[in-house]
């Protein structure tokens, strides 16, 4: 196995591709049944208690609140590292919603199980910092 075909890296790439193309069912199929999505990590408007979205049903609702509401979603990855069963990406997620664009710079971590399914997706980005990039397009 090379770093390019590492299971966690492949899962992260597939997740970003499906999300960008707005292929919800394909995106959901990448996750293990008991997976957890924390985006962003901690309490937020998407997750007031900061416990994450656990299980496919909760992840599906997260998709509807976030990815499903975008006009476009672009992942600009500056660096990608793999360690153990995880892939860490450093970069920016650019979202366009209602004619406005926002950039969320951060660190995005995918963990996979032995079957290559995503068990954890954790996104570290600051809402206030991202809001400062808000602009009309």
Please tell me the predicted confidence (pLDDT) of residue 4.
76
In whole angstroms, give the CA distance from residue 73 to residue 17.
10
CATH of region 7-136:
3.10.450.50
Please tell me the predicted confidence (pLDDT) of residue 2.
61
**Tens-digit pLDDT string for the chain (137 aa):** 567 799 999 999 999 999 999 999 999 999 999 999 999 999 999 999 999 999 999 999 999 999 999 999 999 999 999 999 999 999 999 999 999 999 999 999 999 999 999 999 999 999 999 999 999 99
Q: Give the start-to-end residue ranges of the domains of the chain.
A: 7-136
Instruction: State the DSSP H helix or E strand holding residue 21, giving kind and residue range, or none if neither.
Output: none
| Residue 43 Rama label (left phi>0; alpha psi -120 to 50; beta) | beta
């Amino acid at each position: 196995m090379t770093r390019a075909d590492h299971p966690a890296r492949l899962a992260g790439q597939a997740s970003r591709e499906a999300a960008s193309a707005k292929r919800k069912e394909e995106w959901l199929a990448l996750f293990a049944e008991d997976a957890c999505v924390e985006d962003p990590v901690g309490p937020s408007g998407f997750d007031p208690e900061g416990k994450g979205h656990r299980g496919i049903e909760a992840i599906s609702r997260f998709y509807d609140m976030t990815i499903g509401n975008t006009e476009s979603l672009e992942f600009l990855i500056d660096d990608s590292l793999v360690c153990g069963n995880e892939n860490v990406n450093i970069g920016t997620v650019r979202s366009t919603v209602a004619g406005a664009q926002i950039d969320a710079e951060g660190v995005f971590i995918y963990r996979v199980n032995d079957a290559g399914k995503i068990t954890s997706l954790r996104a570290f980005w600051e809402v206030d910092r991202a809001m400062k990039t808000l602009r009309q397009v």
